[in-house]
Chain A
């Protein structure tokens, strides 16, 4: 029996790094300190696994050797005029790194899951900036926490305990030292433990944000209610925001993906920037996938852009709405796709999925996903953070090294290694042509 400490959890953007994983005879038998999701992942990661490379023959997927699968995948990419390369948020930075190189090599468009989560955050960031910090600043200093359109008690289970309300920091020791404000369209679990809960009308975030900004400046709001919230309450919360010593706004898809999208974020960033006139205030997106932040990071240093990067001109270009993968698929412009550690067939719009499936499709994933079921080439991979090492970036952009705690199945290489082989094969095929 062997217990590994300081294991970094490859589930959500919290990247809790205090797990203790016990392994017996090559199997994980316990994973302490993590949340319920983490425990479930560690104890069940081997279920629904893809066990061997597959290739489509007519209606069926039949087993094939790894080398042949790699060759087939490379051939598809080389033959394609405009392939899309999608996923990337649940794998290592090392794999993402090779993904960008592959996209450049084949002149395709590469996109990560930001395109369906915090893409609007990026767009607002580019328009007006973003005052932020690492999570330890919040743990040590924040006496006011706001969750807006985010329900961490059901999505990021240890976020509040490790970094915000329950965290023991240098100047804030417990729940009593902090005030919690929650803004949501319904009374979520998180809202139930809040000191102030603002139930905003669906899609009313922009108006509420604007009203709060007026409240901060003590301007008259000549209405009884804004976005379903009584003006007195808005004014009261504005005073709470102004009056803190260090405030932190965490926001989720409730803000980024409701009506207004990047305009909501524009308003949120303006609110937080305004608050710095009176106090110290920061904000942070609640990133979902454990390494979506890493995907943005790696894309940025290599291409200058965090997602939706198009290499069809031989250099990186970026125009979300044009170069983002859902839009490319919806216009039916791509003629092949490779999906790494993601399941777009299960969650993209119908039109985009139809286009994705109409063309040759390669999937690299540890799991039997809906997308894998429909793929022409399927290559099973090892679980990064469980069966192989790699780097991941936390939601606050702190990079951590993921550990390997057990051996992968003999048929599974890491995403990184599979991509390296595909890239080599692509280059070899291009030399021949």
Chain B
């Protein structure tokens, strides 16, 4: 076994947008898992990467890969597991799945595409022990999870009373207690309403029994996020997701925290924006709100987004947005799983097939791409499908090809619903992403939005997470040869994780454990005392577990990687 700690990658063409490197032929030096200036040529293993491009390891900001609802998705879809199998080898555990693959398989397949960091973006705090158990079994990747806080009773009560400091102390405690990384809101207030079978479509409706509006929750958590100095802005799945006309809610949501942005940093990250970019008043006149949202994003610096692109084919939708999943079940007639979580959130799962010939599905497909092509600054977009909601992550290279090549889009356009084709402006958008822009939306931007300073770039000191793809930009016309490019992006020539080669030609050759990040945030001290008082008084009234059994010990994380965070301004 080779155990060389030094690695020299020679003659590769590097795309490292964070450091202004745009397709330059150069060498990359790696020592002890980090990028360094140079290595000792006598000691280093040399990897000749001629004919290959190099990018930082892929970073997925939003992908449902682990935890209770993903596992219920696996349970619901035995037929999904027959589509792809992974045999046991001396190195690899076996597995199955397509839209809801097993954990080991998830790690192998991501690494095979050159991805090295993935975020699980929705976990009910009460059940996050489960999420960590699965993340432990997701090899190779570095990861983190985002606790669902938008319908949390303590948070709604603090915010209702205007107790921002206490709310901040509670959030800091909770992130530590369940080892969570960022603040996630899913259809805030609406999931609590779903506890009674209801839902909130607008951000100024009132949450039943809690006398607070989604707007107040969003603003409150945005302030809390800033007060604690958390590394990433709040991540929000907007209200009224999936419904015609919902782009207005998305606009309102973005606007409502405009004044809270500080120092030019974003204050809000809109997740899977495609699902919240619909105009029109019903399914038959559903149209695109992508242009309007893109215009807003272009004009403002406080918003970032990820795409939530739809891919035609069969998948499994899953979200904490319980009311939406019930609607989707009724719309599609497909199987319905619901799972509400006490005092916190909910969740639903519905298998779904996106059909090219279906008007709404075809519109969804065009809307995602329209948005991606109309937002001028790629640093404001991350490539996602909201896996598995818009489609399985293993199909990302298809989206990459659509963005890189107009011809690829035109070929796909020919096969979609005619009315959608006629109504969409997608055919008139000439823009084609460059490889550098692709590197932004698949690694540099998500790493920056997540505040993972050692990820998403290849500067000295960065984690040596590197993806090499067999693409020679001097010989390849990205636009014409999109099939070839797509193939190359599907199977990384090499994936390097923390300086070790883990993938060769798309096949896993080494299986290290990845790290799990979480936020160890400092809390306002006085407020924290009050929060403890509240927890002791109310926790066991709200929950069915004892307060002492709620926190998750660090022993539950196989490679714990706490991120210490000091409060800003003392």
Contact = CB atoms under 8 A, between A and B. Distances in A.
- Answer whether A and B are interacting partners: yes
A399 B341 contact: no
- B interface: dominant SS: mixed
Interface string A135-147: 1110111000000
Interface string A245-269: 1100000000000000000000000
Interface in A282-309: 282, 296-298, 300-306
B85 interface: yes
A317 B129 CA distance: 27
Interface string A98-124: 000100100000000000000000100
Interface residues of A, number: 62
Which interface residue of A104, A141, A298, A399 has the most chain B CB atoms within 10 A? A399
A213 to B, nearest CB: 16
B54 interface: no
Contacts of B545: 17, 398, 400
Interface in B92-119: 93-97, 100-104
B262 interface: no
B342 A301 contact: no
B336 to A, nearest CB: 4
Contact of B134 (A125, A136, A301, A311): A301
- A interface: dominant SS: mixed
B542 A170 contact: yes
A137 B340 contact: yes
Contact of A8 (B87, B130, B339, B549): B549
A137 B75 contact: no
A163 B545 CA distance: 11
Contacts of B338: 129-133, 282
A316 interface: yes
A245 B196 contact: yes
Given A93-B133, A393-B130, A305 B81 contact: yes
A104 B130 contact: no
B179 to A, nearest CB: 13
B543 interface: yes
A139 B130 contact: no
B548 interface: yes
26 contacts: A104-B93, A126-B75, A126-B77, A131-B338, A132-B340, A134-B340, A134-B341, A134-B342, A136-B341, A136-B544, A137-B195, A163-B544, A168-B541, A245-B196, A273-B336, A279-B197, A296-B75, A301-B134, A302-B95, A304-B100, A318-B81, A391-B129, A398-B126, A399-B127, A400-B549, A401-B553
Interface of A: 5-6, 8, 17-18, 93, 97, 101, 104, 122, 125-137, 139-141, 162-163, 168-171, 245-246, 273, 276, 279-280, 282, 296-298, 300-306, 311, 313-316, 318, 391, 393, 397-401
Top 6 A-B pairs, shortest CB-CB distance: A136-B342, A280-B197, A129-B335, A133-B340, A131-B338, A129-B336
Given A170-B542, A245-B196, A302-B95, 17 more contacts: A122-B75, A125-B76, A131-B336, A131-B337, A134-B342, A136-B341, A136-B542, A141-B195, A300-B74, A300-B75, A301-B133, A304-B78, A318-B78, A398-B126, A398-B127, A399-B133, A401-B129
